[in-house]
Structure 1
Amino acid sequence: MKIVLLEPLSIREEKLKNLSSKLLEMGHEFIAYDTVEKDEEILKERVKDADILIIANNPLSGEVIKAAKNLKYISVAFTGYDHIDQEICQARGIKVSNAQGYATEAVAELTLGMIITLLRNIVKCDEVTRCEGTKAGLMGNELNGKTVGIVGTGGIGLRTAELLKVFNCNLLGYNRSQSPKAKELGIQYVSLKELMSKSDIVSLHVPLTKDTKELIGEEELSWMKKNAILINTARGPVLDSKALAAALNEDRIAGAGIDVFEIEPPIAPDHPFFHAKNVLVTPHVAFATEESMIKRAKIVFDNVYSWMNGEEKNIVI
């Protein structure tokens, strides 16, 4: 079989060779591209003879998938898989697996970092200190004892909750199903409206589906406290960007930490968040640590070897 890695996995070449060596020993062909390609015609050429594709978060359209006549399986080096044409995969019987769990620690830690940065005005403190300023007007707030609403109590949401427990936070949860582990952590499940209205901090950790697209919009934001902050390290489209920017500019909520957008960075300078008050933005970096990249590469290749052995591991389609 021909296995094609369509984009780099952000690991050292030596590590990639170690993970892929078994494929060559088994007599398979392995090709790894070290650039992220956006041109669909070039992508079609890269995939045309592939039996297996390994991708990260670069979009894989239906037209590109159609060009891969021999394609049977896709191993996604990412938790989300909404960047793949799922209908085409289902229609052709192409199995898809993800790398769920690889970035749990990384995303949870950045979430906590964003919360503390906003509560303690760290970015503004840095700016004024460099300009001979003082702490005047920069009184912060403690995380200790705050009520935090976790929207989405999957692996990342629960790990975030575990970290917040260290700060003696009261935890509210909203999810389609209730997790026993969440209850062990002391998370109280409530309606979305109750979570939004009672929380000092709201943190989003849901996947992007037809049910979660713009889950948080103008109405949901209107339920929040004026001194509350919102964090989104999940997927960009689960949040209405224009509605959040308006809520911030009109002082209806106090701040926001945003790592994800409607599209992958770079983001155009006219994006609503770049013209809103007290927004901390990062370029979809929550998952990106040296440790998490190694974890996901191992998961991705393990998924491939498992599928070859007739085992379906981490299958999402």
Structure 2
Amino acid sequence: MKLVIIEPLGVEEEKLMEIAHKALPDSVEIVSYQTKVTDTESLIERGKDADIIMVANLPLNAEVIKGCKNLKMLAVAFTGIDHIAMAACKEQGITVCNCAGYSNAAVSDLVFGLLISLYRNIISCDQVVREEGTKDGLVGFELEGKKFGVIGTGAIGTRVAKIAQAFGCEVYAYSRTVKDLPGIQFVGLEELLYNCDIISLHVPLNESTKGLIGKDEIALMKPDAVLINTARGPVVDSEALAEALNNGKIAGAAVDVFENEPPVSKDHPLLHAKNLIATPHVAFATKEALVKRAIIDFDNVKCWMEGKPVNVMN
């Protein structure tokens, strides 16, 4: 059995191999690539003999999937699988497993880091101090008492909602599945957008969520509302959001995700919008989270080899 780690997973090689050997029998041949390639030909060359490929957020198209003739299992070291050609995996009979749960704490942490940066003008405050300025024009807002809207109440959305409660926020939620979460009121999407001061997105990217927040939805938001997107870029219409920010229709936004993985083009409309904080898809990336996902991913391989697959996405 051959396992190919087709791109770096953000964990030191020695630690990664320690996790691997703890989970898997010695009979598994492990090849680990510490450089990243993106072209189809190179990816096929790396994976052509692999029974199992381990990948993070590197896109694997149908040609790559079909070009890896021995491939039987794809161990995705990520929560989302929208970068994987799932139809090709189904056609080839390839089992796809993800690493749900590894970044719950990391993403939730960044949501509030971004939110407080917006609410307290932290970036502008830093700049003005360096320019011998004062707090004039930089008086911010408190979280306590604000109406906090969570769109998508999976593990991360639920954690964000609970943290918002700890800050003293009044929490509302919109999700296709209504849950019994103490102190959290489930409402329709329009009602949430209309009433909430803060809106945080936590939905996967699929046909039903692509463009979920567009021009019409943004128009429902309060002029002093802020939007946080640590979910997936295409969930939001970037041009509509940039227009709303530049025209003062909403107060601010923080975006960790775009239509494509960074580097993001300098011409992207959001990078020229007012009152926007951008980060390079870093929400999941903490030292602790990357180790957690490696442990989960190798455990996924172990369970699949034992005929008891877990975290199966197809």
Counterpart position of 1:312: 309
Pair 1:43-2:70 in alignment: no
**Residue pair 2:97, 2:300 contacting (<8 A) in 1 also:** yes
Pair 1:152-2:149 in alignment: no
Counterpart position of 1:267: 264
After TM superposition, the structure 1 = structure 2 runs for residues 6-155 of structure 1, keeping only pairs within 5 Å, are 6-21=6-21, 25-155=25-155
After TM superposition, the structure 1 = structure 2 runs for residues 152-301 of structure 1, keeping only pairs within 5 Å, are 152-180=152-180, 183-184=181-182, 186-301=183-298
**Residue pair 1:24, 1:30 contacting (<8 A) in 2 also:** no
**Residue pair 1:23, 1:30 contacting (<8 A) in 2 also:** no
Distance 1:154 1:119 in 2: 25
1:9 is displaced (CA, Å) by 1.0
SS at match of 2:206: coil
Distance 1:284 1:270 in 2: 18
Change (3 A) 1:287 1:24: closer
SS at match of 1:63: helix
1:26 is displaced (CA, Å) by 3.6
Which residue identity is paired with 2:7? Answer: E
Deviation digits for residues 197-246 of structure 1 (CA, Å, limit 9, x no counterpart) = 00000000000011000100000000000000000000111000000000
Which residue identity is paired with 2:262? Answer: P
How many correspondences in the alignment? 314
Q: Percent identity?
A: 54
Distance 2:25 2:90 in 1: 31
1:24 is displaced (CA, Å) by 7.0
Which residue identity is paired with 2:311? Answer: N
Q: Which moved more, 1:19-28 or 1:258-267?
A: 19-28
1:167 is displaced (CA, Å) by 0.9
Q: Which moved more, 1:15-24 or 1:68-77?
A: 15-24
**Residue pair 2:24, 2:302 contacting (<8 A) in 1 also:** no
Distance 1:149 1:262 in 2: 23
Which residue identity is paired with 2:252? Answer: G
CA RMSD of aligned residues (A): 1.0
Which residue identity is paired with 1:178? Answer: V
TM, length-normalised to structure 2 = 0.98
Deviation digits for residues 25-60 of structure 1 (CA, Å, limit 9, x no counterpart) = 441211010011112111111111111110000100
SS at match of 2:313: coil
Which residue identity is paired with 2:205? Answer: L
Which residue identity is paired with 2:232? Answer: R
Gaps of 5+ in 1: none
1:159 is displaced (CA, Å) by 0.7
Distance 1:134 1:145 in 2: 27
Change (3 A) 1:284 1:229: same
Distance 2:213 2:233 in 1: 11
**Residue pair 1:107, 1:156 contacting (<8 A) in 2 also:** yes
Distance 1:190 1:174 in 2: 6
SS at match of 1:118: helix
SS at match of 1:110: helix
Deviation digits for residues 49-76 of structure 1 (CA, Å, limit 9, x no counterpart) = 1111100001001000111111111010
Gaps of 5+ in 2: none
